[in-house]
Amino acid sequence: MLNMDISMALVRVTEAAAIQSANLMGRGDKMAADQAAVDGMEKAFGLMPVRGTVVIGEGELDEAPMLYIGQKVGIGEDNMPEMDIAVDPLDGTILIAKGLPNAIAVVAMGPKGSLLHAPDMYMKKIVVGPGAKGAIDIKKSPKENMINVAKALNKDITELTIIVQERERHDYIVDAAREVGARVKLFGEGDVAAALACGFEETGVDMLMGIGGAPEGVIAAAAIKCMGGEMQAQLVAHSEEEIERCKKMGIDDIHKIFGIDDLAKSDDVFFAATGITECDLLKGVIYSKNEVATTHSVVMSSKTGTIRFVEAIHDLNKSKIVVE
Q: pLDDT tens digits for 238-273?
A: 888 888 888 887 888 888 999 999 999 999 999 999
88 known ligand binder:
yes
Compute the Cα dihedral for 9, 10, 13, 14 and give only its sign: negative
pLDDT: which is higher, 316 or 193:
193
Q: Where are the domains of the chain?
A: 6-113+268-315, 122-263
| pLDDT of 137 over the 80 cut | yes
91 known ligand binder:
yes
One of 3.40.50.2300, 3.40.190.10, 3.40.190.90, 1.10.3720.10 is the CATH number of 122-263, namely 3.40.190.90
| pLDDT of 323 over the 50 cut | no
pLDDT the model gives residue 1: 40
pLDDT the model gives residue 217: 95
Mean pLDDT estimate for the chain: 91
Round to whole Å and give the CA distance between 38 and 20.
Answer: 9
120 known ligand binder:
no
Which letter does DSSP use for residue 294 in this model? E
pLDDT the model gives residue 290: 78
Q: pLDDT tens digits for 29-62?
A: 999 999 999 999 999 999 899 999 999 988 776 6
Average pLDDT of the segment spanning 154-177? 97
58 known ligand binder:
yes
| pLDDT of 63 over the 90 cut | no
One of 3.40.120.10, 3.30.465.10, 3.50.30.60, 3.30.540.10 is the CATH number of 6-113+268-315, namely 3.30.540.10
**Under a CB-based contact definition with an 8 Å cutoff, are residues 105 and 41 in contact?**
yes
pLDDT: which is higher, 315 or 146:
146
pLDDT the model gives residue 320: 52
Round to whole Å and give the CA distance between 297 and 19.
Answer: 12
Backbone angles phi, psi at 50, to 5 degrees: -145, 165
pLDDT the model gives residue 324: 38
Round to whole Å and give the CA distance between 134 and 149.
Answer: 9
pLDDT the model gives residue 61: 60
34 known ligand binder:
yes
Same fold, 6-113+268-315 and 122-263: no
pLDDT the model gives residue 154: 97
pLDDT the model gives residue 319: 65
Strands (E), the chain: 51-56, 72-73, 82-91, 104-111, 122-128, 161-165, 183-187, 207-213, 230-236, 257-258, 270-275, 286-288, 292-301, 306-315
pLDDT the model gives residue 322: 43
Q: pLDDT tens digits for 92-116?
A: 999 999 999 999 999 999 999 999 9
